[in-house]
Each structure stands twice: as structure tokens, then as C-alpha cells.
């Protein structure tokens, strides 16, 4: 996927996430957050994609470069959610920082990575436990008056059989999982990144399978927004080097992303390295082609795009990359709702360590660049 976008990440995005290895960790209040990454274990909740993907350079999909972004004269729309993002206390990077106070790399990793809020990934497709695990995050973020970023990552045939393969056994089970996920949201502000690579990386499915998946994704958005009117749900747009904008917009439309009943817009660059400028231009073009209400916006994963993508297209823990813009819900850019760290900087795509695991050497390299 997000090798594509995150560790979600192998076929599509490889996104890294800090994962909570069990429910106790996830519920802890004082803890410490498709290229190709490994799939999460069944009980993982990650603070960032534990196993996600970001569009990977190994994709067969054509890549097109996006036009340079142009600043619009319209005023950026005011933020519709609070500007305070939730820092998940159970991330691997925070665990590492606590365990290595004397390591010379710790101060830089702590200040530039561990202190920044990142997404929490939910990858275990078991419906029975997902509501409590989501609630453990949303209740604590609400108590702090902060906004959590949650990644739902359990679609069947996830990652098209790549490194992050897995997910629910079928769409009926997935629908039940989403229903339970939604009950854990509460009534507070929350950002949901819905299934990285599920749309951009749907070409491994037959036509009927793709239609069924898209219907289930449209339903998922409606269920999430019905359960929590303050939830903001974003759909998979891949990234600027993946599908052409018009093709991606057509796929998104089929999946319900143009309907305000299901969607608040799109997300891009999960676990990838495309520059923020390229993603802004691409996302605006996708949104224009998508249609729908003018209020639909985009969120961009800026976790490790500070130096852009490697010229050779390498996606697996490439050297010379750097962390990007700090996470924020106030970008000052028209139709760009947020810059988020969906994949945690320092989580491996599978080359500097097991997919989705934290690599202090990789984190230090990213923080130093």
C-alpha cells in the first residue's frame, strides 16, 4: 500500500507507526505515538502506522509529477477542528527515549520526533475488541481537550498480498469492525485516516471486488460520521507520484469521497516522501476533479518528506531523507486541512529493521537531515 503510504506499506504505502502492543499499553495515560512494512500483530494499536504502507516506488501504477503548487488568492478556510493534536503516550519512540536517557542520540530524537503528535494505527481486524481500543485513545484525548488522529487499517486484501497483507476476512466482517470502531469514537473531535492504499492500490482486485470494496468504504465513512458528528473522515488519494489526479478522483468518487455524508476530503503521501509543495498541488487538483462540496479538504503526511523523494525511487528506508513540517491542523493553505505525521519518523519500512519497528539510527538520521 503506502510503500505506498505507510507501512501500509509494502504494496502501497509503507507507513510506520508506533504501536501499542496490547490494550494495557494503549490505555496507559502516562506512557512515554504503501513503502513496505510488516503487518501488525492482531492486537496492535499503533501510535503511528504500525503496519501501513506508503505508495512504493515498486508500484506498477504510472507516476506523474505534479505541477508546482500555486498560491491561491482565496483566503484559507478557517480550521474546523481545534488546533491541538493528541500526543499518544504509548509510542515506540517514547518508549525508546525513556529507556535510553544516556544515549547521545536521545535529545535530538526526543525533541524532533518524540515530542510531536503522530497517528495511532488500528490494524487488528477483530470486531470484539476494537471499540474498547479506540475508546482508550479517544477518551484520553478528550480529557486533554486534544484531537487524536486515528488510522483504520483492516480492509480485506490489505496491501494486495504485500508486506502488510491481512485485514478482515471479508467485507461483512469489515463492516462489523467499522461499526465497532465507530462506537469507540465518542462525541469529540477526531481525525480518521480511512484505509491507506485501499483506493489508490485497488488495481489488484477484479471489477466486482473493487465495486464491493468501494461500497464498503462509502458505508464506513457514513457510519463513522453518524456515530460522531465531530469526526472528520479522509479517503485515500495515494500521492503525487502515483495515479494521475483525474484517475484518482474518479476512484475516490466511486468510494464515496465526494459525499459529505461520508467524507471530509482526502489524504495523501502516507509513508511516502513527496514534497509538501507537490502534494498541495496534487491534492488541490484531485479535489477539483472530484467535485463535491467546496468544504472538502486534504491532509498530507509530512512525517519524512523534508528532503523530498529519493531520485532513484527507493522507498524502503532510503538514506538522505528528513522529517517534514510539524503536525498541525492550521496550514494556512486553501483546501489543505492539516499536515499530519501518519507514519512515525524512525519506524522502518523493512530495511533498517522489521517492518513497523522503531529504528533509532533511522530516526536520528531523519532528525539530523
Check: CB of residue 155 under 8 Å from CB of residue 213: yes
Sheet holding 120-122, edge to edge: 19-20, 45-46, 120-122, 149-152, 190-194, 231-236, 265-268, 297-301, 336-340
Classify residue 159 by its DSSP letter.
G
Instruction: For residues 126 and 124, give the distance between their C-alpha atoms in angstroms, rounded to a whole number.
Output: 6
Classify residue 160 by its DSSP letter.
G
Strands (E), 183-334: 190-194, 231-236, 265-268, 297-301
Give the dihedral sign, CA 161/49/5/135: positive
Report CA 235 to chain centroid distance, whole Å: 10
Q: Show which residues are catalytic.
A: 159, 197, 349
Helix axes 207-227, 245-254, angle to 10 degrees: 70
Closest-CA residue to 62 (of 219, 200, 230): 200
Lookup: cell for 278: 507537490
Check: CB of residue 151 under 8 Å from CB of residue 193: yes
Amino acid at each position: 500500500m503506502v510503500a505506498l503510504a505507510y507501512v501500509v506499506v509494502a504494496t502501497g504505502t509503507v507507513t510506520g507507526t508506533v504501536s501499542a502492543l496490547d490494550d494495557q499499553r494503549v490505555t496507559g495515560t502516562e506512557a512515554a505515538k504503501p513503502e513496505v512494512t510488516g503487518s501488525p500483530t492482531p492486537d496492535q494499536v499503533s501510535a503511528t502506522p504500525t503496519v501501513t504502507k506508503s505508495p512504493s516506488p515498486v508500484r506498477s501504477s504510472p507516476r506523474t509529477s505534479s505541477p508546482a503548487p500555486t498560491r491561491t488568492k482565496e483566503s484559507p478556510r478557517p480550521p474546523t477542528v481545534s488546533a491541538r493534536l493528541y500526543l499518544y503516550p504509548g509510542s515506540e519512540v517514547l518508549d525508546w527515549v525513556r529507556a535510553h536517557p544516556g544515549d547521545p542520540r536521545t535529545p535530538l530524537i526526543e525533541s524532533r520526533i518524540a515530542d510531536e503528535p503522530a497517528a495511532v494505527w488500528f490494524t487488528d481486524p477483530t470486531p470484539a475488541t476494537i471499540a474498547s481500543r479506540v475508546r482508550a485513545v479517544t477518551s484520553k484525548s478528550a480529557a486533554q481537550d486534544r484531537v487524536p488522529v486515528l488510522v483504520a487499517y483492516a480492509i480485506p486484501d490489505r496491501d494486495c498480498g504485500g508486506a502488510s497483507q491481512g485485514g478482515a476476512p471479508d467485507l461483512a466482517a469489515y463492516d462489523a469492525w467499522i461499526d465497532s470502531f465507530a462506537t469507540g469514537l465518542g462525541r469529540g473531535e477526531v481525525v480518521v485516516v480511512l484505509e491507506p492504499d485501499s483506493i489508490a492500490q485497488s488495481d489488484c482486485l477484479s471489477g466486482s471486488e473493487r465495486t464491493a470494496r468501494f461500497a464498503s468504504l462509502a458505508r464506513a465513512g457514513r457510519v463513522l460520521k453518524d456515530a460522531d458528528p465531530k469526526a472528520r473522515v479522509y479517503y485515500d488519494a495515494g500521492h503525487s507520484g502515483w495515479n494521475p489526479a483525474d484517475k484518482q478522483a474518479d476512484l475516490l468518487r466511486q468510494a464515496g469521497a465526494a459525499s459529505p455524508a461520508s467524507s471530509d476530503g482526502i489524504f495523501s503521501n502516507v509513508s511516502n516522501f513527496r514534497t509538501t509543495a507537490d502534494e498541495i498541488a496534487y491534492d488541490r487538483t484531485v479535489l477539483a476533479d472530484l467535485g463535491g462540496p467546496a468544504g472538502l479538504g486534504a491532509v498530507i503526511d509530512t512525517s519524512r518528506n523534508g528532503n523530498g523523494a529519493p531520485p532513484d525511487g527507493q522507498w524502503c528506508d532510503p538514506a538522505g531523507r528528513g522529517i517534514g513540517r510539524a503536525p498541525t491542523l492550521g496550514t494556512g493553505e486553501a483546501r489543505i486541512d492539516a499536515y499530519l505525521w501518519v507514519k512515525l519518523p524512525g519506524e522502518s519500512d523493512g530495511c533498517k529493521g522489521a517492518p513497523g519497528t522503531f529504528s533509532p539510527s533511522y530516526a536520528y538520521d531523519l532528525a539530523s537531515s
